[in-house]
Amino acid sequence: MEPFPSDRIQLPRNMIENSMFEEEPDVVDLAKEPCLHPLEPDEVEYEPRSSRLLVRGLGEHEMDDDEEDYESSAKLLGMSFMNRSSGLRNNMSVYRQNPNGSCSVPSMRTIVVCTVVLVIAVSLIMAIYLLPKCTFTKEGCHKKNHTMELIYPLATNGKLFPWAKIRLPSDVVPLHYDLVLQPNLTTLKFAGSVKIVVNIVQVTWKIILHSSGLNITKATITSAGGHQAKPVEFLEYPLHDQIAIMAPEALLTGQNYTVNIEYSSNLSDTYYGFYKISYKDENSKQRWFAATQFEPLAARSAFPCFDEPAFKATFLIKIERDEKLSTLSNMPKKATTPVTNGIVQDEFFVSLKMSTYLVAFVVADLKNISREVNGSLISVYAIPQHLNQVEYALNTTVKLLEFYQQYFLINYPLEKLDLVAIPDFQSGAMENWGLITFRETTLLFNSSTSSARDKKLITAVIAHELAHQWFGNLVTMEWWNDLWLNEGFATFMEYFAMEEIFPELYSGEDFLNLVFKAMMKDSLNSSHPVSSAVQSSEQIEEMFDALSYIKGASLLLMLKHYLTKDVFQAGIEVYLHNHNYGSAQSDDLWDSMNEITNGTLDVKKLMKTWILHKGFPLVTVVRKGKIISLQQEKFLYHVEPENWTSDESYLWHIPLTYITSSCNFTHCTNAYLLDQKSAVIELPEEVEWIKFNVDMNGYYIVHYAEDWKTLIDLLKKNHTALSPKDRANLINNIFNLAGLGKEPLEKAFELIDYLNKESSTAPLTQALFQLSLIYSLLEKKGEQQLATRVMHRIEHLLGDKIGQQRWTDDGTLSERELRSTLLTFACTHDIRNCRTTATEMFEKWMKSNGTMSLPSDVMKAIFTAGARSSEGWEFLLMMYSSSVSEAEKSKMIEGLASTEDVRKLIWLMQNSLEGEVIRTQELSHIIATVSQSLPGYLLAWDFVKENWEKLTRKFHLGSYTIQNIISWSTSQFATKAHLLEVKSFFESKSEESSQLRCVKEAIDTIQLNIQWMERNLAKLQELL
């Protein structure tokens, strides 16, 4: 899945709902509760260190053993015992009140009864904690050891639910699904039935699977070869989105059974599951569109299923529709048959073996263009009025598909591949096998309004999703802890394919800037390893972040350079061939690489230090003559000394690269594996300078100690001795080291003094990014005078470059992107008459009633300037409503959100949340833009606070969108008052909200901002 494109460049920053007793639940005492169905051995185990009482309103999330609060379990057991005794409490008040109002002494009988009750309560608590491990089965209690595990929860009907874990049991596996759906785009509901063929791995009386928000009306089970479908009892446990099919007899090992379930539900009004979309057709008439988004956990809300990635199966899908609409699914259409007047049913061919999150279907009025490639029919679909914008996507897909088939040495395995533009879509795109869904801005290309950046975005997203057809679809991560295997690989291949197939669209600085921002996130104590244990839905959602995508891709890039491209490619081929149509873990990838290195290098040992450690290393380089001393430590901002994680145990195996003054060409790159805390390199001769991490191909920061002065002098005298990526890398590293306190801020400012001679995009954009961060912090802190001086410094360094920009679309891709960045920045901050020129162009466009063609690369700058006036803003909003170009509308949104009119900003955010004029998919984009301005940054935070419940209902807790909304709305804060406010707000919400990793990151970031201001405010006064 591709995150929302504009969010990709912005780092996400960080859940367990407070359960309140609506009623006091009874404890389920397995020793006394009559069993409805026999329980298998090893199912009910008691273990004091991980005791977990799961009843209605309690224990909403599974925890690891070492996270359990067994003290609270004891309290709950005591509380529940008292609940059981409520009848006694009502009938036997210990103190009886006499008519005169005084209390009589309790009778001897009362005292005895109370004593017995108390003794039983204490005994029960002690017995549960002191009993040896006990498994209750038909035969009674089996002693195993002196620990205690789970007590089963209660189903919605009050009966015992026979499973207590979030993960499904492994005793039943699905083989095949027959799914029949009847969506109704008038009532906005759907009915469905599913037949699931399952295989029994271990004898059982139950089948546990997922279901969420479905109204199940009937469930039956049929044995293999049996003709009689037997009705079965089914139990529901919504807390874990699970249902239990209780078999009337034992399900035998090795046998197949068919479970048949009938159900109904509403089409979702979120972006998850089987959801509805409203849009206007070419006649401005409201139409409805139904589509799916199942990754990570939403297939269960469209049909009951085994909704975990490792449970792969085949799927036969049938969908009823209005004969005027069309349906699409993963596989080609097999047949269409009439059902009733005006209604037909489409049947699709049986799918390949795949995970539930990759199942997809669309019901809508769509048009397409197609082309055949190597036996597969490639089609691009859109609503009718957008059909003239799909040709570029089709041509791009054909080229990329051919490249991937040659690179992986595995043909795309399906007979068709559909790419569909969805009018309202949360992510950038979703890689469903054979039916890839896209946000319209990432698939539709309009030659008159799409900029160079738009074209590159479309190409990159298609490259990402096509890579998933192998990485993710053909070979799937076994569980969400290894999501990076899907997303890191797809991101890596996206940029690699762009470089190979579309060199005119590839610019290395894109990935470089993403890595810089991922490292900002990864430098916080609230970061996480690329491969992290996850259980709850919120934890799984939060894995879709910059670390899984960008850090994962960066580590693969580093490995590719270290192994060489041929060895790396051979390792990928082995991995895909060894695990196709199956599931894999990180170690499987390293084992495949080791098959190729054949003992010359232990890739697993090397890469485990990167995958299982959070953060990244700081390598300090000290040069004395020919001797280079190296030392590694963890790069970490210490914001709360009592909470930060010790880095003593952190040791990375770092594939260092370096160039020197004696030979600084690419072919002169030297390599050294630093696998100790410190080491020494002896050069063959003394050199004037040395630069590590060539082209930033490694995921680490370098501190040059005394050599920073040498590198600063080199940039002043001959900056082209280093590549543009190396220059950007030095700028990034020294500002990060200044933030850490390892180098003074004045040295960072000294390094960028050479920039008036700079012409390359990568170093210019990195310097602008770093200075803009400082400007924003000062501005929001109320240090207006100092902020103005920072802006003067930016103008001094970049003013000439801004003045040289032409308001056209000519030049190379890199030149065009730099023009767009510089002019948008200059117009926002009124540098070098930019705003005057842009406003003149906007007024001409407005006088032409929007018919005049504007240069697409500078359109955003023009709209930003034009929307400053009330008249311009209203006109832009009107044009937004009528525009058919999604690329143009995206730039209009940024212009509208850049106004300083507070009422307009509030209206814009509120309207986007409601999705009336502006689609809700744009909301995080709007909040990001609003939060950057001085009038808007507090408004954005207030909006998030006031609409938190609506936001999390629409976008789901932990989702990439929520991560970005939290990050953008808080990242400008730099005062203790704001820190307290953010902390208090999230603490007042559910435990799930307060425990979000992005909330913790937001708090870390505010603390860092405060720390940075305290450390550097006085220095800035002197410097500027």
Q: Is 714 helix (H, G, I), strand (E, B) or coil?
A: helix
- Omega into 423 within 30° of 0, i.e. cis? no
Catalytic residue among 440, 465, 541, 888: 465
Q: How far apart are CA 18 and CA 674, in angstroms?
A: 47
Please count the other Cβ atoms lying within 10 Å of the Cβ belonging to residue 708: 19
Residue with tokens 């349906």: 327
Cβ distance 817 to 453 under 8 Å?
yes
Beta bridge partner(s), residue 476 = 583
Cβ-count burial 742-762 (b if 16+ within 10 Å, e if not): ebbbeebbbbbebbeebebbb
- Cβ count within 10 A of residue 76: 20
Helix 997-1023 / helix 784-803 crossing angle, nearest 10 deg: 90
Residue 604 tokens, joined: 């697993």
Could you tell me where the beta strands, DSSP code E, fall in 168-240?
Answer: 172-184, 189-200, 204-210, 215-223, 230-231, 233-237
Tell me which amino acid residue 589 is: L
d(CA 595, CA 568): 11
3-state secondary structure of 578: helix
Contact yes or no for 573/594 (Cβ under 8 A): no
- The CB-side HSE value for 194 (13 A sphere, CA atoms) comes to 25
Burial of 974 (0-12, 13-18, 19+ CB in 10 A): buried
Q: In 3D, which of 778, 784, 775, 731 has the Cα closest to residue 753?
A: 731
Beta bridge partners of 221: 230, 259
Cα–Cα distance for residue pair 477/479, rounded to 1 Å: 6
367-373 vs 376-382, strand pairing mode: antiparallel
204-241 burial: b if 16+ Cβ within 10 Å, else e: bbbbbbbbbebeeeebbbbbeeeeebeebbbbbbebbb
Under the phi-then-psi rule, with left for phi > 0, alpha for psi from -120 to 50, and beta for the rest, what region is 65? alpha
Enter the DSSP assignment of 548: I
Query: Which residue reads 């709360």 in tokens?
Result: 640
Integer Cα distance of 533 and 553 in angstroms: 20
CA distance 26 to 58: 11
Q: What is the Cα–Cα distance from 472 to 355, expressed in whole angstroms?
A: 9
How remote is the C-alpha of 904 from its chain's centroid? 30
DSSP designation for 887: H
H-helix or E-strand containing 843?
Answer: helix 834-847
Is residue 603 a contact partner of residue 650, using CB atoms and an 8 Å limit?
Answer: no
Tokens of 393: 């996507």
Active site (annotated) includes residue 465: yes
Q: Give a three-class secondary structure readout of 936-1002.
A: CHHHHHHHHHHCHHHHHHHHCCCCHHHHHHHHHHHCCCCCHHHHHHHHHHHHCCCHHHHCCHHHHHH
368/143 Cα distance (integer angstroms): 65
Q: What size, in residues, is the chain?
A: 1024
Q: Which of 949, 718, 891 is nearest to 6 (CA)?
A: 891
Rounded Cα–Cα distance for residues 493 and 507 (Å): 15
**Unique residue bearing structure tokens 């002690």:** 126
Residues marked active site are found at: 465
